[in-house]
Amino acid sequence: MAKRWYVVHTYSGYENKVKNDLEHRIETYGMEDQIVDIQVPTEEVTEIKNGGKRETKDVKVFPGYVLVRMELDDNSWVVVRNTPGVTGFVGVDGKPVPLRRSEFNKIMRRTNPSGVREPKRATTTDLEAGMSVKVVSGPLADFDGQVSEVMPEAGKVRVMLMIFGRETPVELTLDQVTQIA
């Protein structure tokens, strides 16, 4: 029987604990040949904190879910299902349904043509349109302005600065500005 990827529902925040506990249970019950891989899908996110400091961290793509590659039978189902923190398998009418390869690839961000994993780099910031900011670096350092647009995907912000007596839109990176309290 083929080993397929299944989605296991867990208590949110317990994904890594479930992964560790399941790895120990696999070893204890001698299931290494049936349950071969466990993944907690994450992506790298860069946050811009006050003061313009960048902080990069991995965040779970699907909180409350773990992917398990296994040969599904009664024994492997029991080992996974009875792992502390697991609430069940994702499926239809209580029966686990395996992921299609395309679904697994999409989840794991392996959809680019070369097959090399390139994690999506999302950026979050607490800046919003209308906020007052100070430019802290670059040729416009020390100018004050007002945010007109935030573009977190690009890691940029558009700021209206008063230059030569008129309001001028300027596109800056998120780490070039800091919020004025």
Its sign, for the CA torsion 76, 35, 72, 86, is: positive
Of 17, 98, 93, the residue nearest 107 (C-alpha): 98
In this predicted structure, what is the pLDDT of residue 44? 76
Residue 114: pLDDT band with limits 50, 70, 90: very low
Query: Taking residues 110-118, what's their average pLDDT?
Result: 39
Of 144, 127, 126, 147, the residue nearest 135 (C-alpha): 144
Encoded tokens for 101: 């390869």
Residue 122: pLDDT band with limits 50, 70, 90: low
Pairing between β-strand 156-163 and β-strand 42-48 as defined by DSSP bridges: unpaired
Percent of the chain surpassing pLDDT 70: 89
Question: Hey, how many other C-beta atoms are within 10 angstroms of the C-beta on 98?
Answer: 18
**Which CATH fold topology does 4-111 show?**
Alpha-Beta Plaits (3.30.70)
Do domains 4-111 and 131-179 share one topology? The answer is no
For residue 38, pLDDT over 70 is answered with: yes
Q: State the Cα–Cα distance between residues 59 and 47, nearest whole angstrom.
A: 11
In this predicted structure, what is the pLDDT of residue 117? 42
In this predicted structure, what is the pLDDT of residue 147? 92
> In CATH, which of 3.40.50.720, 2.30.33.40, 3.40.50.200, 2.30.30.30 is domain 131-179?
2.30.30.30
In this predicted structure, what is the pLDDT of residue 166? 81
Mean pLDDT, rounded, of the chain = 83
**Amino acid code (one letter) for 7:** V
Q: State the Cα–Cα distance between residues 103 and 119, nearest whole angstrom.
A: 16
Q: Give the residue extent of every domain in the chain.
A: 4-111, 131-179
Residue 24: pLDDT band with limits 50, 70, 90: very high
